[in-house]
Amino acid sequence: MERKCYAKVNLSLDSLYKREDGYHEIDSLMTRISLYDKLIINKNKEKKFSYKSNIEGICPLEENLIYKAWALLKDRVDDNGVDVTLIKNIPLAAGLAGGSSDAAEMIKALNELWDLGLSQKEMMAYGKSLGADLPFFFIEENARAQGIGEILTPFTNKLNMKLLLVNDGTEISSAFVYKRMADYGVIDNDRLVSKLSKGDASAIKDFRNVMEDVIFDAFPHLKEICGKLRELGAENALVSGSGASIFGVFTDDDLLDRAYEEMKDDYKTVLKVELVDD
């Protein structure tokens, strides 16, 4: 069985306040992009999890979210052995939720492979126990994420945008940023959702990520990438999630192509991507 594990970007990301349990209430518009890891999963007869990948040392196996997803479900069946191959294309600790997407697809795959009959709601609950970003990947639509990321409301986007994704190899953990966050609550996501559903292009200028205050303070060079994208014709440029990936938003293909040519040799990863759920 083969599955595509799409990356996400946050078109807008607001953090409202820190809760008693240490997590932050957020309000974010999330969308999947045409950059994906590939998971190849086959049953084996050894009742074991065997793993290989095109990249070494993401983290110890027991900490890999794919392994954790398997460990959550393995006692539901007798023949629980699987051979898993991960083709990693999504940059690490990049605000693109690659690990979360891998784990969500692993849960969906095991549900099918082992005929577990789990509902979307049950899979989302398993997902949430592994990370706040996981539930989004069970929706398979653009969604507004609230709560800690698990309250999901699909939205429609009629805007034809393409993104130039830039990652210079900087890795930032979500915990690093959340620890330094102030209270915000400044983004009008109701208005943004309404504009996107009507195809009103003025929405693009309203995209915002409140984590940028913390991120640019600690990693000022990332702000320069946003500036460069704007200079090259992006209608907006912002950090995705807790970073360190930056995306420029384009509605003109020629400008996008030109910006790609200008930037492609200057950073570790420069990719033209589309939104997959529109």
Ligand X SMILES: Nc1ncnc2c1ncn2[C@@H]1O[C@H](COP(=O)(O)OP(=O)(O)O)[C@@H](O)[C@H]1O
Ligand Y SMILES: C[C@@](CO)(OP(=O)(O)O)[C@H](O)COP(=O)(O)OP(=O)(O)OC[C@H]1O[C@@H](n2ccc(N)nc2=O)[C@H](O)[C@@H]1O
Residue ranges of the binding site for ATP:
91-101
* Contact pick of 14, 27, 102, 212 for ligand X (by CB under 6 A): 102
| Residues 57-96, interacting with ligand X (CB under 6 A) | 58-59, 63-66, 92-96
| Number of residues counted as binding ligand X (CB under 6 A) | 19
* Contacted by 87, from ligand Y, ligand X, none: CB < 5 to 8 Å by type: none
Stretch that binds ligand X, among 23-31, 77-85, 97-105, 152-160 (CB under 6 A): 97-105
Q: Which residue has the tokens 């209430």?
A: 25
Nearer CB in complex with ligand Y: 48/186:
186
Q: Is 133 an active-site residue?
A: yes
Nearer CB in complex with ligand X: 67/250:
67
How far is residue 223's CA from residue 190's CA, in Å, rounded to a whole number?
27
165 neighbors 35 (Cβ within 8 angstroms): yes
84 neighbors 54 (Cβ within 8 angstroms): no
Bridge partners, residue 252, by sequence: none
CB count in 10 Å sphere of residue 178 = 18
How far is residue 24's CA from residue 178's CA, in Å, rounded to a whole number?
8
Min separation Cβ 269 and ligand X, Å = 13
Query: Alpha helix locations (H) across the chain?
Result: 65-73, 98-113, 120-130, 136-139, 174-179, 189-198, 203-206, 212-218, 221-231, 253-263
Residue 209 binding ligand X, by CB under 6 A? no
How far is residue 69's CA from residue 103's CA, in Å, rounded to a whole number?
6
156 neighbors 119 (Cβ within 8 angstroms): no
Min separation Cβ 107 and ligand X, Å = 13
Min separation Cβ 196 and ligand X, Å = 23
Nearer CB in complex with ligand X: 80/100:
100
* Contacted by 23, from ligand Y, ligand X, none: CB < 5 to 8 Å by type: ligand Y
248 neighbors 232 (Cβ within 8 angstroms): yes
Residues making contact with ligand Y (CB under 6 A): 10, 13, 22-24, 26, 28, 95, 97, 100, 131-133, 148-149, 174-175, 178, 241-242
Min separation Cβ 28 and ligand Y, Å = 6
How far is residue 229's CA from residue 231's CA, in Å, rounded to a whole number?
5
Nearer CB in complex with ligand X: 9/159:
9
For 241: left if phi > 0, alpha if psi spans -120 to 50, otherwise beta; the answer is: left
* Contacted by 263, from ligand X, ligand Y, none: CB < 5 to 8 Å by type: none
| Binding site residue list | 91-101
* Contacted by 59, from ligand Y, ligand X, none: CB < 5 to 8 Å by type: ligand X
Catalytic pick from 14, 37, 102, 133? 133
* Contacted by 246, from ligand Y, ligand X, none: CB < 5 to 8 Å by type: none
Before 103, cis peptide (omega within 30)? no
Active site residues: 8, 133
